[in-house]
Amino acid sequence: MKRKKVTEPVRIAVFVSGGGTNLQALIDAQRDGILRTGKIELVLSSSRDAYALTRANDNGIPTVIVARKECADQGAFEDGIRAALAAHNIELIVLAGFMSILSEDFVREWPRRIINVHPSLIPSFCGKGFYGLRVHEAALAKGVKVTGATVHFVNEIPDGGEIILQKSVAIHKNDTPESLQQQVMRQAEWLLLPRAAEQVSLEILSARAVSTNTTVFNGT
């Protein structure tokens, strides 16, 4: 991996599996200057059918498909991911609806360099088995009045990494899992994920500055 200049944007890979609405939020944030310290250099999909790939192509972002079901085992799957990350000199991984499991060994290779958005206020409704509509079904079944979203660092424990940002969303009387999912995405996920990506990108840029004894000025 070539050495990055302090002033170069942090190179981001977004991991996807489906429609890519969170990817679109990141793309929009990059266009609008909300995500400015980092730049999306790769979209990696675990599915050949993910509409997120179309979103990436429409915005001129390179794509790679590493389909878990086409790999002999987890090791081969993650070797494919590693090769793609190395080829694009990636520094930060953003999980945006990525439905494939990453091993503990892989995660340990990227300390504080993988972030994920989860559709609840961690530590509520999180961990193994809590994903997609299941999270919102559990929140409604419990009768909580407030839910939300969390962006966190990824470690060896599902949804167990340090929290970066959270935002609450009110639950209404007639909400369904589907309507609640839409509210959480629009009111929390799509706002938090770009902000968190920018925040972590700034941390990476600062680490570069330390390694070169250079001061980073971010214009604020």
Can you give the pLDDT at residue 220?
Answer: 42
Residues 65-112: tens digit of each pLDDT: 999 999 999 999 999 999 999 999 999 999 999 999 899 999 999 999
26 in Cβ contact with 197 (< 8 Å):
yes
Interval 25-37: pLDDT, tens: 999 999 999 999 9
Any idea what DSSP says for residue 56?
H
In percent, the amount of the chain with pLDDT more than 70 equals 93
Distance CA 71, CA 59 (A): 28
The set of catalytic residues is: 118
Give the pLDDT confidence score for residue 209 in this predicted structure: 84
Q: Band the pLDDT of 219: cuts 50, 70, 90.
A: very low
Reported as a single tens digit per residue, the pLDDT across 160-218 is: 999 999 999 999 999 999 999 999 999 999 999 999 999 999 999 999 888 766 554 45
- Mean of all residue pLDDT scores within the chain: 93
The model's confidence at residue 5, banded by pLDDT at 50, 70 and 90, is low
Dist. CA 24–CA 26, nearest whole Å: 5
Q: Looking at the predicted structure, is the pLDDT value of residue 23 above 80?
A: yes
pLDDT, residue 211, reads: 75
Model pLDDT, residue 1: 47
The confidence score (pLDDT) of residue 3 equals 59
Q: What is the pTM of this model?
A: 0.91
Tell me: the pLDDT tens digits for 113-146? 999 999 999 999 999 889 999 999 999 999 999 9
Of the candidates 117, 119, 207, the residue with the CA atom closest to the CA atom of residue 168: 119
Alpha-carbon gap, residue 203 to 213, rounded angstroms: 15
What is the residue extent of each domain of the chain? 10-212
Q: Which residue has the tokens 């799509």?
A: 190
For the segment 44-61, the average pLDDT, to the nearest whole number, is 97
Q: Among 3.40.50.970, 3.90.550.10, 3.40.50.170, 3.30.70.600, what is the CATH number of 10-212?
A: 3.40.50.170
